[in-house]
Chain A
């Protein structure tokens, strides 16, 4: 079957929630993939301090700490956007304010990321030897 013009090269235009829907998926997948690794690295504690400390040393590396900032952002975004989803699903009348609530939840996420970026950011710079 020939592809319709709309199948190639054009952006999917769904509901206003399409971007948060996409971000919810991406952050969710990122967090579960990290969890797979994180259960294993935590389990190493059963092999004693030498083994465990060698493993968590990875988390004190500044590049990994930058990824850690991304992880915290992913969890926080997923949590705040998930709350928005529950609000819409359990109290459908709130969808009347979908646009305002989407702006509010995105704003809350960005606002929360300000101090978090500062706190983890200073750790990153310290680990990198800049501070």
Chain B
């Protein structure tokens, strides 16, 4: 059998290289699901810039932060459909953005396909359960069930 002496051609890049003339280059998925995932991370990131950063500034930084948060505080806050919608949108986008981020990281570090599937499925199940739990709570919470406190 002849010995292969030629250099192996470099593996084709999975992504399209957005090579600019300025020396910098960034990779972008060529198409399909990964391109949608790439786009989703950026669009949801833009929205989370307001939803998540706003949330941590209001709840953790301004006006004594988390020190003032208790049942009465949340009950008063959730009187407003605006904050319920904000919190629900934050819940949904942060879960999908975060779990998709975990999927990308798992792809890098969990090499065995079986383990990769198991880890990913675990995160998807956690995400779905938390989505249901959070959605039910944010839309069914009724402070009037405890009138003495509010």
Contact yes or no, A29 B105, CB < 8 A: yes
* Range of interface residues on B (Cβ < 8 Å): 35 or more
Contact (Cβ within 8 A) B24 A46? no
Taking chain B's interface residues, is the majority helix, strand, or loop, or is none over half, making it mixed? Answer: helix
Are A120 and B98 interface neighbours, CB within 8 A?
Answer: no
Interface string of A2-39 (1 = CB under 8 A from B): 00000000000000000000000100110110011001
CB within 8 Å: A-B pair count: 125
* Cross-chain contact A98 with B24 (CB below 8 angstroms): yes
In the complex, how many residues of chain A place their beta carbon closer than 8 angstroms to a beta carbon of chain B? 45
Cβ B18 vs Cβ A92 within 8 A:
yes
**Residues of chain A with a CB closer than 8 A to B146's CB:** 48-49
What chain A residues lie within 8 Å of B89 (beta carbons)?
A: none
Residues of chain B whose beta carbon lies under 8 Å from any beta carbon of chain A: 18, 20, 22-26, 28, 42, 45-46, 48-49, 52-53, 56, 60-62, 64-67, 69-72, 74, 91, 94-95, 98-99, 101-102, 105, 126, 130, 133-134, 136-137, 140-141, 145-146, 149
What is A's interface to B at a CB cutoff of 8 Å?
25, 28-29, 31-32, 35-36, 39-40, 42-43, 45-46, 48-49, 52-53, 56, 59-60, 65, 68, 71-72, 75-76, 79, 82-83, 85-86, 88-90, 92-93, 95-96, 98, 116, 119-120, 123, 126-127
